[in-house]
Amino acid sequence: MKRVLLIGNGAREHVMAEALKASSYGVSLFVVGGAKNPGIVELADEYLVADVCDIEAITEFAKDVKPDFAVVGPEGPIAAGVVDALLEMEIHSASPLRTVGRLESSKSYTRDLLEKFQIPGNPEFKVFTDEDGLEAFFEKLGDDFVVKADGLKGGKGVKVSGDHLNGVAEGLAYARECLADGDRVVVEEKLVGQEFSLMSFCDGAHTVDMPCIQDHKRAYEDDKGPNTGGMGSYSCENHSLPFLVGEDIRAASDITKNVAKALFEDTGAYFKGVMYGGFIVTKNGVKLIEYNARLGDPEAMNVLPIMTGDFVDVCEGIINKTLDQVEVGFEKKATVCKYVVPEGYPDDPCKGEKIVVGEIPEGVKVYYASVDDKEDGLYLSGSRAVAFVGVADTLEEAEKLAQSAVGAVTGPVFYRKDIGTADLVEKRVEMMKGIR
């Protein structure tokens, strides 16, 4: 038996819990979550409701349950130093220390790292700690720019010209706002192309890539509306995407390998966990949008259900720097994940309203996210509520499965019907043909 400490309580952590419990070793699962997730509760041996960044509460719980290792779901605890605090207790984690977790928690650090070690993938960019040269750089970029607040902002710190900011004046105003809120801001050229996620298990010396995935950040169909945490995602049975070529995936994979090496050279610490690259294919090749230092949500739900091999072995391979000796692969299956979210999400989501999850079709996986599980049923708590994942031999079949399930939820909710559909995928293929 393995004793595992899991930190987090969203749908990503639900699928992580499922993968851990499926281990051939037999797993006793101990969870710290900010709220009770009904799916994780069913899988957990003990469940502590506490802030996932509360180092004192987590370390006290860890002293009691004595886990063999820990794994962290969300980015907040990594940035807060939870992994570091556990390591001081000689509890190792399949998640990175804070210093290398800066790959996600500091956008300026990642841009500077690629530049310092001459790793391809950066757009034209500058990091500013004050207004000196700010206006001149905006004038150089013209109307195509991105402004990034440096730290973790829950996905709301990045603003793009044309989408969130109209013209240089608004860009400058937001950059000044970021400088006032923190000590630095990143301004960079706007990249045009198709985005994809490539997540890789990493032990600091070796990487194992997962299938490519495309996430859908916009709230409404046809990529309209405000940005969200992710309304859903899809992956294909060949582990590529219809608008990618083999060279695109190799380029992204090489960037990740080089970044892992550079992190050790720069910090003296190995990155142990998941390096999740958000990439974009442009007319000038593959560029890096950003890195996350953990599994994606929703992307974790595309890859973990089709992973072959033992998730405990993967976690221990990450910890022991023996990932190259672990058998890990992925079934040749397509997956489509669709989130059901509260009406008004993300700007003004309804909360406290009851939802009912009806009968789920066979072949669909269900992962609970932000719901309150009360005696008389499930209630919305303001963020993404339930994720449904179809797994099948083709993308068309996987999409049909996921779509057949989202309608089983009654209550004040909505979802995107178009994720994984042939129409939306074809639009992206045609766009890339024009760009190439």
Q: What is the CATH number of the domain that holds 96?
A: 3.40.50.20
- The more confidently predicted of residues 16 and 166 is 16
DSSP element (H, E) containing 82: helix 82-88
Residues 132 and 86 in one domain: no
Residue 289: band (very low, low, confident or very high) from pLDDT cuts 50, 70, 90 = very high
Residues 99 and 155 in one domain: no
Residue 283: band (very low, low, confident or very high) from pLDDT cuts 50, 70, 90 = very high
358 occurs within a structural domain: no
204 occurs within a structural domain: no
In this predicted model, what pLDDT tens digit does every residue of 77-86 receive, in sequence order? 999 999 999 9
- For the segment 309-322, the average pLDDT, to the nearest whole number, is 98
Say how many domains are in the chain: 2
Q: Which of residues 189, 214, 246 is at a domain's end?
A: 189
252 occurs within a structural domain: no
353 occurs within a structural domain: no
How much is the mean pLDDT over the chain?
Answer: 96
Q: Is the pLDDT of residue 99 over 90?
A: yes
165 occurs within a structural domain: yes
46 contacts 31 by C-beta, under 8 angstroms: yes
Q: What is the CATH number of the domain that holds 145?
A: 3.30.1490.20
261 contacts 381 by C-beta, under 8 angstroms: no
Residues 30 and 83 in one domain: yes
Q: Is the pLDDT of residue 156 over 70?
A: no
Residues 76 and 144 in one domain: no
Q: Provide φ and ψ at 90, rounded to 5°.
A: 65, 30
319 occurs within a structural domain: no
Contacts of 215 (CB under 8 A, 6+ apart): 195, 197, 230, 232, 233, 296, 298, 299
Q: Is the pLDDT of residue 18 over 70?
A: yes
Rounded to a whole number of angstroms, the distance between the first and last alpha carbons of the chain is 52
Q: Which of residues 172, 189, 206 is at a domain's end?
A: 189
Q: Is the pLDDT of residue 183 over 80?
A: no
Residues 143 and 184 in one domain: yes
Q: Which of residues 189, 209, 225 is at a domain's end?
A: 189
In this predicted model, what pLDDT tens digit does every residue of 355-365 receive, in sequence order? 999 999 998 99
Residues 64 and 145 in one domain: no
Residue 163: band (very low, low, confident or very high) from pLDDT cuts 50, 70, 90 = confident
Q: Give the pLDDT confidence score for residue 193 in this predicted structure.
A: 96
Residues 60 and 7 in one domain: yes
User: How far is it, in rounded angstroms, from Cα 63 to Cα 335?
Assistant: 39
| Type of residue numbered 15 | V
C-alpha 310, offset from chain centre:
21
In this predicted model, what pLDDT tens digit does every residue of 202-213 receive, in sequence order? 999 999 999 999
Residues 13 and 63 in one domain: yes
User: How far is it, in rounded angstroms, from Cα 394 to Cα 410?
Assistant: 28
Q: Give the pLDDT confidence score for residue 154 in this predicted structure.
A: 64
Residue 155: band (very low, low, confident or very high) from pLDDT cuts 50, 70, 90 = low
Residues 22 and 73 in one domain: yes
113 occurs within a structural domain: no
Residues 84 and 16 in one domain: yes
Q: With CA atoms as reference, report the closest residue to 6 among 95, 80, 107.
A: 95
Matching residue, tokens 């469940």: 47
- pTM (2 d.p.): 0.96
In this predicted model, what pLDDT tens digit does every residue of 109-153 receive, in sequence order? 999 999 999 999 999 999 999 999 999 999 999 999 999 998 777
Residue range of the domain that includes 150: 124-189
Q: Is the pLDDT of residue 275 over 70?
A: yes
- For the segment 259-278, the average pLDDT, to the nearest whole number, is 98
392 contacts 398 by C-beta, under 8 angstroms: yes
Among 97-101, 171-175, 267-271, 393-397, the minimum mean pLDDT is found in 171-175
366 occurs within a structural domain: no
Residues 163 and 76 in one domain: no
Residues 72 and 155 in one domain: no
Task: State the burial class of residue 290 (Cβ atoms within 10 Å of its Cβ: 0-12, 13-18, 19+).
Answer: middle
